[in-house]
Amino acid sequence: MDDITEPRRIPTVRLKPRAEARAIRHGFPWVYADELVTDRRTQGLAPGTLAVLEDGERRPLGLVTVNPKSKIIARMLDRDPEAVVDEDWFAARLSRALALRERLFDAPFYRLVHAEADGLPGVVIDRFGAVAVVQPNAAWAEAHLPALVAALVAVTGVATVVKNGQGRARGLEGLAEEMAVVHGPAPEGPVAVAMNGATYMADVMGGQKTGLFFDQRPNHAFAARLARGGRVLDVFSHVGGFALAALAGGAERALAVDASAAALELAKAGAGASGMGERFSTRQGDAFEVLEALGAEGARFDLVICDPPAFAPAKPALEAGLRAYERIARLAAPLVAPGGYLVLCSCSHAADLQAFRNASARGIGRGGRRGQIIHTGFAGPDHPVLPQLAESSYLKALAFRLDG
């Protein structure tokens, strides 16, 4: 889609008379399909079209992007209804995001853009040194990808930009899945990322999500303190997440469990690059089955971490997701040595902190253990939260100290 340069050409969409314009004025970034007047003209707009949003009395609220095919029919882009979405507009948003990350981190490995919280709805950008991975998860971002990429290169100086067009969010927007290098040379193998004293290997072209989960960085660091001198079990380990941080923090040994053989190979490579290969081992298999098998074997660990994928990605899956979190806790708790620690994580925004905490506590109790919560962790500061949007705060990590 061409950038809009003449505001008078931009269509107008309007909230229904009873829709809550106050929430939009106070910073809520979304308009749901049942809140917008969807006449034939609005329904005919192409996904990703820019439009001026008006309240029920035809007063402008800002510039939005419209997707009639999505439950989130409009996303706020700019409070200025005459804003021009071009390379300069993207550069301003990216520069603001970069300033925060450069203040927080000494090395260019972080989430650079966290969607709505950084003013770019539906856009995720993770940076791996000279490589950036962009997830354009909304139709407007797909349409404006050339301008976004040009601004990203100009602002950050990255040499390579990878488009990761995969995932559930794109399907909800009616977008096709696609992986492509959209700027610069393709990465030659995994990218080495130094974090929490360990080296991680991120497969930015074929790995899960963007290749690495930066959001858990502070929780990795906290768990590493609990792991000193102990035996560690890292379930749903991906490329070594908690396990490698624990070894770097002084753990005696670590066992990583994951269903993906490719992820475990990257974890092994990271352990080797960190000089910790002799203290690191892996076990491939379904996490629930491995936990049951370890229990039958009488295995015990000083620290057990379970960091599963989102069991409750949306409200319809909430009850089943909470049962899954409870089951994880029930199977993991007996594997913790007396006086040891259990860290349970959830990245399901549909399961709020209280619901997740209750499910975890029930599971621990049904596993025959009791304990105290010693720490509650969230995503790192490179994953800022938009206060008006609960979905931008999704990650929870609970650290329990279990009794004897």
CA pair distance 50, 338, nearest whole angstrom: 59
Strand spans (E) along 184-261? 191-195, 198-202, 231-235, 253-258
Contact 77, 83 (CB under 8 A): yes
Strand spans (E) along 156-290? 160-165, 178-183, 191-195, 198-202, 231-235, 253-258, 280-284
CA pair distance 16, 53, nearest whole angstrom: 11
Of 355, 323, 354, 325, the C-alpha closest to 342 is 325
Strand order in the sheet with 160-165: 109-114, 123-128, 131-136, 160-165, 178-183
340's enclosing H/E stretch is strand 336-346
User: What residues act catalytically?
Assistant: 347
CA pair distance 331, 344, nearest whole angstrom: 12
- Chain centroid to CA 319: 21
Residue with tokens 């506590």: 361
Contact 300, 337 (CB under 8 A): yes
Contact 383, 112 (CB under 8 A): no
- Chain centroid to CA 312: 14
Contact 164, 210 (CB under 8 A): yes
Dihedral of CA atoms 49, 50, 54, 60 in degrees, nearest 10, equals -170
* Amino acid, res. 381: P
Dihedral of CA atoms 135, 139, 140, 144 in degrees, nearest 10, equals 60
Structure token digits, residue 120: 């770019």
Which are the contacts of 45, defined by CB distance < 8 A and separation ≥ 6? 11, 13, 51, 66, 68
- Helices and strands: H and E segment counts in the chain: 12, 19
